[in-house]
Chain A
């Protein structure tokens, strides 16, 4: 599967502290990755951006790293390793000045994934943020647009889950190696993403999640897609870093406006003030990006299971109307007061509505309408 050149690239990137920039200077100086691996220490030290200490390290590690073992490990985990020289390397990434020379991919990358939008946000969203993330992702998925996010807790997971629920494709860019499962509760989600999209990472298989890696990963999220949408984020957060990268990479930045009193609205509202596009729905993003619809991945129909029948009874409609005016959701108690239903009827109706996919229950018995 790999010729010797690809193997050399992979090997070079297995060396500690080897990033895209250093890789590029080395290749520039020595003509090829293999040349860099064979270069004597004195010459390595002359390369721009490489100290004597690093040169020594590269020399000693070039002999020590076991590229075959890494490839075997990847193979066992169903992970493909592609390099920037491979034909199937995502073309959006190639345009980045600091493109990752190596990508570990679990699942499949599709040509249409070039028309993707990344949606990112806080790890601790409010009910509003969750609903908004789900709403935007589903909207994108229905138009056949692949969503990209970081598999983190909160908004990121919501994006992946909602996209898959709507029958779309989604790509998770990880800040750890694909041999490590983080966050652990998303294991099942990982499997689903691998089937309808891909998990990708630039880090060797067994790289553990490290806070230094996450900002680096964010440039891939923004770089992979045509535009980045921020749903809910504090002003200092990973999502804002992603937005910053997107702007630097010349991509469109979108922000979903939020309530002015919530600290998680600070990020997106700040972005809007600084010139980002305000996005109220997937349509806003699609119009701005001028993605032509009719991509081949357009799902035929939303993939919602239809067990309960979609017909909403009059009683149930009352609940939905009560929820419509409450973007942050309503506790079951207030819902009872608003609709004037007793607890028994309310419980039964809510369960029916949930089965119909019309409402959703969040921790603390807060119900929100699904749009």
Chain B
């Protein structure tokens, strides 16, 4: 007999329906899977056979053919195991009701247990379009599956439970409820800006960066606290709203990074890949495309420590997502797009030995060596970074000093949210949401300076020997500073402060 079971597969960050057809016919015992399966899908044969047997059923000594339709899309992963096993049981009439209202997702263990799989959230979300209202997922994936809302999610632990339920011998309580049900309460970050001593200047730079969505480059000797500061940037960004949360969770779901029991990701992600990362791991891609770190940092922060140590080609591929906010992976069979809208933070030592500008230690690098070190970061990448900030190393005597009570992240976040709101209202008509996304046209429109400020800015650029392109960057940052100060017009003081975040130009160019 022939059985048809609904399942689903993920491409990119979206899912499409897959029908698992199982046919059992007379003939020499065999088990074949067709429909462009990859190695993990092919191996599901052995898992399914063992799981079916160990759940107390006979596996038929006949010709078993499994087809994964549509047959022209490559299938990967072990998430079809459950659907195939249910199909086999149904084809042997061990399950008497037609389970066509259900979608089945899950990997099988040899003893018949159901293991968690990747990509549950995009799958459940896609069901809404295909008219299926019930889904069976591994119990460990219940949290993310419930996010979708108005779909009945049946958490399952064993293959036996599934067949018993379908035969009406056992009750499984479905969950549904969506966003409300998976806990609205905010997840707290385990770090906070109040833990950082001193470094007021860098904190201010990060506040501006957060308020305007500006990318940042931090330059400072080892041990000055660059990673410590970067790690705290997500805590002052506005809370994720539902759509952002959903997008981010989807991407994390695809690579299996949603922890069991966790529903939506409500904290802004912070990704800090090591400098030995390959370009594919950073950007995404591969034979079976998967999202890279830039997409995992979607709606959050991507932090690259020791920026000059990254392979040059790795840094070059960063340019596209920084510009387009999306990564497109193209294959002959089609292309997938991974969203990658993140704030970029780079950190580097001021010179190869790290002591340049250190108050106590001596730098042993000649200017040529420093030049060479800095030039590993290409101009086009530098161009996409609005704020450069020096992170000075504190003397030990300064560290011991009482800097007074540091401001907690929540207070800074309030100002950031306010500034972002102002930008949103101003830029809504232009379909951008923060100052860092302004193009030349928007800068002319929204960052006009009066004569005095303009003359001042030109004088500053000459004095600090800044490049001509620093002009627009300073304007953008000055716009954000004005927003933080609740001012409609950019004033001279705002320009003066903004120029401080550009003064490394001469050194970096």
Contact = CB atoms under 8 A, between A and B. Distances in A.
B353 to A, nearest CB: 13
Interface in A315-371: 331-334, 336-337, 342-352, 354-355, 361-366
Nearest to B198: A333
Contacts of A362: 357
Taking residues whose C-beta sits less than 8 angstroms from the other chain, chain A's interface range is 20 to 34
B392 interface: yes
Contacts, number: 99
Contacts of B395: 331
B357 A346 contact: no
Interface in B416-437: none
A80 interface: no
Interface in A290-320: 305, 307-308
A35 interface: no
A329 to B, nearest CB: 9
Contact of B367 (A153, A342, A347, A348): A153
Contact of A363 (B350, B398, B494): B350
B398 A355 contact: no
Contact of B456 (A308, A334, A349, A364): A308
Contacts of B367: 153, 183-185
B200 A307 contact: no
A344 B368 contact: no
Contact of B394 (A305, A331, A351, A363): A331
A361 B465 CA distance: 14
B301 interface: no
Given A307-B455, A347-B496, A332 B203 contact: no
Contacts of B204: 342-344, 347
Interface SS, A side: helix
Contacts of B460: 351, 355
A333 B201 contact: yes
A351 B500 contact: yes
Contacts of A183: 367
Interface residues of B, number: 42
A333 B394 contact: yes
Contacts of B363: 124
Interface string A169-188: 00000000000000111000
Interface in B380-401: 390, 392-395, 398, 401
Most chain B CB neighbours (cut-off 10 Å) among A343, A345, A355: A343
A348 B398 contact: no
Nearest to A335: B201
30 contacts: A184-B367, A185-B367, A185-B368, A307-B455, A307-B463, A331-B394, A331-B395, A331-B398, A332-B200, A336-B201, A337-B404, A342-B204, A343-B200, A343-B203, A346-B200, A348-B493, A348-B496, A348-B497, A350-B500, A351-B460, A351-B499, A351-B500, A352-B496, A355-B459, A355-B463, A362-B357, A364-B392, A365-B390, A365-B392, A366-B392
Interface of B: 198-201, 203-204, 221, 350, 356-359, 362-363, 367-368, 371, 390, 392-395, 398, 401, 403-404, 455-456, 459-460, 463, 481, 484-485, 493-494, 496-497, 499-500, 503, 507
Q: Shortest 7 CB-CB distances between A and B: which pairs? A: A364-B357, A363-B357, A343-B204, A307-B459, A351-B496, A348-B496, A343-B200
Given A331-B395, A363-B357, A364-B356, 20 more contacts: A185-B367, A185-B368, A331-B394, A333-B199, A333-B398, A333-B403, A337-B401, A344-B497, A346-B200, A347-B201, A347-B204, A348-B497, A349-B496, A354-B463, A361-B503, A363-B507, A364-B359, A364-B392, A365-B357, A365-B390
